Amino acid sequence: MNYKFNDNREFDIIAVGRACIDLNAVEYNRPMEETMTFSKYVGGSPANIAIGSSKLGLKAGFIGKLADDQHGRFIEQYMREVGIDTTNMVVDKDGHKTGLAFTEIKSPEECSILMYRQDVADLYLDPSEVDEEYIKKAKILLVSGTALSKSPSREAMLKAVSLAKKNDVKVIFELDYRPYSWNNTEETAVYYSLVAEQSDVVIGTREEFDALENRTTEGKNEDTVNYLFQHSPDLVVIKHGVEGSYAYTKSGEVFRGLAYKTKVLKTFGAGDSYASAFLFALISGKDIETALKYGSASASIVVSKHSSSDAMPSVEEIEGLIAKNETISVG
Ligand SMILES: Nc1ncnc2c1ncn2[C@@H]1O[C@H](COP(=O)(O)OP(=O)(O)O)[C@@H](O)[C@H]1O
Ligand SMILES: O=C(O)C[C@@H](O)[C@H](O)C(=O)COP(=O)(O)O
């Protein structure tokens, strides 16, 4: 099954939310206490997805707020140089800082992120800084869940979603759940379900859908999709780590994507690379089953590399891995 977009648009994808800095441990396979040097990359889930999409050849734009400092300028320049339209990235004038994510790579399986996100510029995006004329130029609006965690960014997201729906722009909701960004799980579930119910496509891990449903025990994919298909979504993608992922359509089809074998360096970056390649494949007219392969292959490449954004692969790398067909069968 193919997924239809409004083809007559200047941008394939406009992502909205945070563009930040990742500081990835250079000496890995050890705790962060023993890490002395970190490499700087652009980070933040929606920025990573925009970068991945642009590297695959999609025309990408970004709506977000950057700090008026060296980090903000680095992010804007990097994103512009990979081909992203940054004209709707506004600069904060109130002294808010860029969000930082220090990553710890204790082992390929044991990775964590230490976030510095107190009063970060991205969460100060104001609804007045979301422009209808820009959104209506896109096939897809990619919304990141973390941007719903605080006002005024929350209202800016709700405005962006409403403008997308008004202008026949597909809303893709990447749940991107970062627990420390939220006051409590009840609040997360309220805003996640509000936006998920209005979206066309919802993408997340099983744990993130549990957050959407405010569950403390693991839910069933069938229950999740039965609920969401009573509303706007017609495609739901649920990821299960190395066990692969499932895509469910409103018309009742279910597709499974298997993960590809790789030499894992770290686990983060998987979700964002997955989303960019999955969306690239859908926009390129490939069927959903093939799009799952693109997402899985892209994730497998990125988990074998040091960064999330800079490591985003080319179409050739993804197709080369799919052709080798070395999938992981667990679960
Ligand atoms: N260890 C791994 N080896 C290869 N591919 C992986 C591995 N872990 C995850 N992936 C791929 O990345 C995708 C997304 O990973 P997942 O952990 O579910 O999401 P997130 O990174 O958003 O938490 C999976 O569906 C799978 O295809
Ligand atoms: O999203 C962030 O703020 C941190 C990311 O930049 C970081 O690279 C990361 O955690 C990506 O992991 P993913 O969301 O699993 O792809």
Looking at residue 28, its pLDDT comes to: 86
Give the residue numbers spanning the domain of 281.
11-324
For residue 111 the two structure tokens come to 């990775």
Residue 50 lies in a domain: yes
Looking at residue 202, its pLDDT comes to: 98
CATH of the domain at 31: 3.40.1190.20
Low-confidence ranges of the chain (pLDDT < 70): 331
Distances (CA, A) of 144 to 93, 156, 157, 260, 262: 23, 12, 9, 26, 27
Residue 72 lies in a domain: yes
Residue 37 lies in a domain: yes
Interface predicted TM-score (ipTM): 0.98
Looking at residue 1, its pLDDT comes to: 72
Residue 246 lies in a domain: yes
Residue 242 near ligand 1, beta carbon < 6 Å: yes
Atom of ligand 1 nearest to the CA of 109: 1
Looking at residue 14, its pLDDT comes to: 98
Residue 4 lies in a domain: no
Number of domains in the chain: 1
Residue 48 near ligand 1, beta carbon < 6 Å: no
If you measure from the C-alpha of residue 230 to the centroid of ligand 1, how many angstroms do you get, rounded to a whole number?
Answer: 28
The structure's pTM equals 0.98
What is the SS3 assignment for 290-327? HHHHHHHHHHHHHCCCCCCCCCCCCHHHHHHHHHHCCE
CB 331 within 8 A of CB 244: yes
Residue 330 lies in a domain: no
Looking at residue 43, its pLDDT comes to: 98
Residue 2 lies in a domain: no
Residue 329 lies in a domain: no
Looking at residue 331, its pLDDT comes to: 64
